[in-house]
Amino acid sequence: MVLLDQTRLPAEETEVVCTDVPALVRAVQTLAVRGAPLLGIAGAYGVALAAARGYDVEEAALQLSGARPTAVNLAYGVRRALAAHRAVTERGADRKEAARAALDEARRLHREDADASTAMAARGLALLDELLPGGGHRILTHCNTGALVSGGEGTAFAVALAAHRAGRLQRLWVDETRPLLQGARLTAYEAARNGLPHTLLTDNAAGSLFAAGEVDAVLVGADRITADGSVANKVGTYPLAVLAKYHHVPFVVVAPVTTIDIGTPDGASIEIEQRPASEVTQLTVLGAAGVAAAPPGGPAASAPPGTRAYNPAFDVTPPELVTAIVTEAGVVSPVTGDGIAELCARSLQV
């Protein structure tokens, strides 16, 4: 499998080649490949890779699903490809045919995600126009939700892109997204490539930006949406939702239906990935070396040796702080358990 190595962006557009499942698991854990929808696609292709190489597909599926715990799409993508592989195997087909079925399923999921992205962009733009009738949207976003994480143009970023193409995006405010800087490295890179007017800010500058009346709406993606409408997304999302509520600014989540996990009842039940302390206690090194590398002489400490760090990768925003959840199958607003259940029932009928 050949993946764009997201740890090297924006300095280098380098590929990472995964010829076996452990290499793909490493790519997922180091965030070379990341973002909920893309993790689902990568997981499905990972099962196809395992099948094609003659590995134990059930074991590979377990390893891939467990590589990161929070983004539900990863396990979903793995499950889809595994189910296709099992179905063909149970019919008595040979290994090659079963591997082909897993690959076909991964490709189907990839295409579906691209289609979902197009639909979310259209629905998201229509919602923005309804919420902000004056146009000239100034949108704040967090983390990275564009083409880098999707089979198409992404989730929240795809909506901002649609607003830009419609001539209605005045500014995209890009949170840098500590500690791994998905906003600074990746969203600013995608915004520049697409010609969006954008400005980068440190995460802790968001409060003063709201206070200055410079934010018309917040658009973010999601890693898992639970049955009650709680949203797990990149750490730092929840404080934005609190700010948005205080300042009467719409807070909109954009995610494909595959990010909804009806089996998880509420936010408290979501497993939040804890990342290494070193991501916080050492200065992130950017540029040609990529984020994972240390500068000459070793990693540059930003805290005294031995400092402990609290480094959850995600936080949870409760449904009452979310104005709307935009999916390819429809918009849930207000966000309630009934609304989520209805949407899921509708999307199964499509």
Residues that constitute the known binding site for substrate? 34-36, 68, 182, 233-234
The residue among 233 and 281 lying less far from ligand MRU, judged by its C-beta, is 233
Q: Which of 120, 139, 149, 181 binds ligand MRU (CB under 6 A)?
A: 149
Residue 266 among the catalytic residues: no
Site string for ligand MRU, 234-253 (x = CB under 6 A): x-------------------
Does position 328 interact with ligand MRU (CB under 6 A)? The reply is: no
d(CA 49, CA 289): 29
Identify which range of 81-89, 111-119, 121-129, 147-155 contacts ligand MRU by CB under 6 A.
147-155
Nearest to 318 by CA among 270, 274, 271, 275: 270
Does position 313 interact with ligand MRU (CB under 6 A)? The reply is: yes
Burial, 83: exposed, middle or buried (Cβ in 10 Å; 0-12, 13-18, 19+)?
Answer: middle
Residue 222 CB, nearest distance to ligand MRU (Å)?
6
Question: Binders of ligand MRU among 36-65, rule CB under 6 A?
Answer: 36-37
Candidates 5, 113, 216, 223; catalytic one: 223
Does position 143 interact with ligand MRU (CB under 6 A)? The reply is: yes
The residue among 88 and 313 lying less far from ligand MRU, judged by its C-beta, is 313
Does position 182 interact with ligand MRU (CB under 6 A)? The reply is: yes
Does position 223 interact with ligand MRU (CB under 6 A)? The reply is: yes
Binding site for ligand MRU (CB under 6 A): 31, 34-37, 71, 143, 145, 149, 154-155, 182, 221-223, 233-234, 313
